[in-house]
Amino acid sequence: MTTAAARVGTRARAGVEEQVDVNRAAVSRRRWTSTRTWVQAAVIIVWCLLPFYWMVVTSFRDVGYTFDTAFWPTHVTLDNYVTALSTHWGNHLGHALLNSLIIGASVTLVALIVGVFASYALARIEFRFKGIVLGLIMGASMFPGVALLTPLFQLFTNIGWIGTYQALIIPEISFALPLAVYTLTSFLREMPWDLEEAARIDGCTSAQAFRKVILPLAAPAVFTTAILTFISSWNEFLISSQLSSDRTQPVTVAIASFTGSLPHQVPYTAIMAAGTIVTVPLVILVLILQRRIVAGLTAGGVKG
């Protein structure tokens, strides 16, 4: 009798120990998985940031140590920034920054003003040919830039527009507008439109309901779209490299054609400083607005 009970007890204890073993295995497996995730995450972070870090580090190095391989900045100097912004080698980075701002702001403004109406219709109204309109705008966003470049180059040469701001702004609208419409539509779909209806029941006119209720709610969406559009315009190179002059050259072209004091000497440290000047404000902006930008990028599914 007692031996039987003892046997049962032993079996039960063995069962508990087995269970504890399973739990311990699960815990250690989970810990192992989380370590593995962390290692993978670290690899991604290092891979993404290392080249950027190298640019910033190099931008602070004295010219004589351009190819120094020390991981930390050595022979730190701000000379490269002075060189990058100076004009004595025929570089105009400061002026190019202003150009990029003018072009980017104009493109963003036009794309947003026009695009907001279209995206309101696409997000809010069921109408015939909606699929076709969406397809057209999607197709426009995938259109190869060189197919526009040749005819526009001929046209702008004929009417003397090469080297003007409008020669850069108008073609860039073809990239910015579909991007703006797509991103805005996806944001507007998520809006609480019941509130607009509620405001109208409370006695607002359509226009009032839109202005007082929907517009404030839509402001962040419009702002995010503006940022994405502006970044895409800031990064444009193909059209600007062919249709701009020294006077209207944006930063991307200015950096690509950055020259040194001698024809075959590449002023790498100054170029890295120029690259840092052009990139760091953008990176900071992106980091601050990280969440919204990810939402905009994935919802629109369009390259920014």
What's the one-letter identity of residue 174?
A: S
130-157: b (≥16 Cβ within 10 Å) or e? eeeeeeebeeebeeeeeebbeebbeebe
- Nearest distance, CB of residue 12 and other proteins, angstroms: 26
147 touches other proteins by CB under 8 A: yes
- Nearest distance, CB of residue 5 and other proteins, angstroms: 36
- Nearest distance, CB of residue 76 and other proteins, angstroms: 18
Our CA angle for 34, 39, 40, nearest 5°, is 95
Instruction: Return d(Cα 37, Cα 17) in angstroms, integer.
Output: 30
235 touches other proteins by CB under 8 A: yes
From residue 164 to residue 193, what is the string marking binding to other proteins with x (rule CB under 8 A)?
Answer: ------xx-xx--xx--xx--xx--xx--x
- Nearest distance, CB of residue 196 and other proteins, angstroms: 7
Q: Which is nearer to other proteins, 14 or 146 (CB)?
A: 146
Give the three-class secondary structure for 86.
Answer: coil
Q: Which stretch binds other proteins (CB under 8 A): 18-26, 79-87, 124-132, 218-226?
A: 124-132
81 touches other proteins by CB under 8 A: no
197 touches other proteins by CB under 8 A: yes
242 touches other proteins by CB under 8 A: yes
- Name which position in 90, 144, 160, 216 contacts other proteins (CB under 8 A): 144
What's the one-letter identity of residue 126?
A: E
Contacts 24+ apart (CB under 8 A), 46-55: 52/279, 52/283, 55/272, 55/275, 55/276, 55/279
Strand partners, 76: 61
Please tell me the count of residues contacting other proteins according to CB under 8 A: 107
- Nearest distance, CB of residue 274 and other proteins, angstroms: 8
145 touches other proteins by CB under 8 A: yes
Give the three-class secondary structure for 247.
Answer: coil
Instruction: Return d(Cα 27, Cα 33) in angstroms, integer.
Output: 10
28 touches other proteins by CB under 8 A: no
213 touches other proteins by CB under 8 A: no
